[in-house]
Structure 1
Amino acid sequence: MTDKDIRALKEQQQKLHHVSEHLANERTILAWIRTSIAVMTFGVAINRFSLFLIEFGQAVPGSGRRMNVHAEQLGIGLVVLGVLLMIGATFHYLHVANTIDNETYRPSRAGIIVTALAVLALGGTSLVWLL
């Protein structure tokens, strides 16, 4: 094997690695999209469940609209969180794609931590609401 062959193999390996990084980035945004859809769907379900609470409040004397307010707010909050996740994922995908192309990629943990805390806060709120 000549030096020319070795250089050609290294170049091919480098190109494949570059493609692999972009494919991993695409898998990541697809996971964020699925998560965003799930969060929005959960928010819509909770919001629709609040309609049941309205009917229940009218059927049972003494339980008014007050119990429904929190369910509506929680549902709307989850839908907003899902939309924000989608927007953030799109910007993150574009940023990562550019840094991969420029070979300057550095992982950012702040966005993941903020997202996890937001989901934890809304999930904890829904858990408290259900208890």
Structure 2
Amino acid sequence: MDTPKKNPHVTEHLANERTFLAWIRTAIAVMTLGVAINRFALFLMEIHQVLPEVRHLANRHVEKLGIGLVILGIVMLVGATWHYLHVGRTIEDETYRPANKVMVGTAILIIVVGGSALTWLF
């Protein structure tokens, strides 16, 4: 009887899959937020038509923010898929190295965007 060869990297592949699924959930959340912001922008424009005195609420650029978030979610999903496949290959080849520069760069980018959003809110 031939028993199937056991893959010594099963736990690494499972961790890679969990990370990929987390990126999928994040991309879906970003796209959902973009759709919600876009729909809320339409609501603000409609209420501006009915009640012209609430002009300060109608910000026409909010709609573009919603579209941008949907695009960002799609880009995140494409990047996550590429990363999942790349990490899977490097695990099998036993050449995996963590992407420290990418992680630090992403964290810095999020800090800059978050700080910009915070100053925009005040």
The answer on 1:72 being equivalent to 2:63 is yes
Instruction: Look at both structures and tell me which one has the larger radius of gyration over its CA atoms.
Output: 1
Give the drift of 1:55.
1.0
* Count of residues in correspondence between the two structures: 116
Q: Greater share of helix residues, 1 or 2? A: 1
User: In structure 1, what is the Cα distance between the partners aligned to 2:62 and 2:116?
Assistant: 13
5+ residue gaps in structure 2?
Answer: 1-5
User: In structure 2, what is the Cα distance between the partners aligned to 1:126 and 1:83?
Assistant: 24
The answer on 1:93 being equivalent to 2:93 is no
Give the drift of 1:59.
1.8
Task: Give the structure-2-normalised TM-score.
Answer: 0.79
5+ residue gaps in structure 1?
Answer: 1-11
Match of 1:21, SS state, is helix
Residue matched to 2:46: 55
Question: Cα gap change, 1:47/1:40 in structure 2, threshold over 3 Å: closer, same or farther?
Answer: same
Residue matched to 1:32: 23
The answer on 1:83 being equivalent to 2:74 is yes
Residue matched to 1:42: 33
Task: Give the structure-1-normalised TM-score.
Answer: 0.74
Which of 107, 113, 120 is matched with 1:121 structurally? 113
Residue matched to 2:3: none
Which of 91, 95, 98 is matched with 1:107 structurally? 98
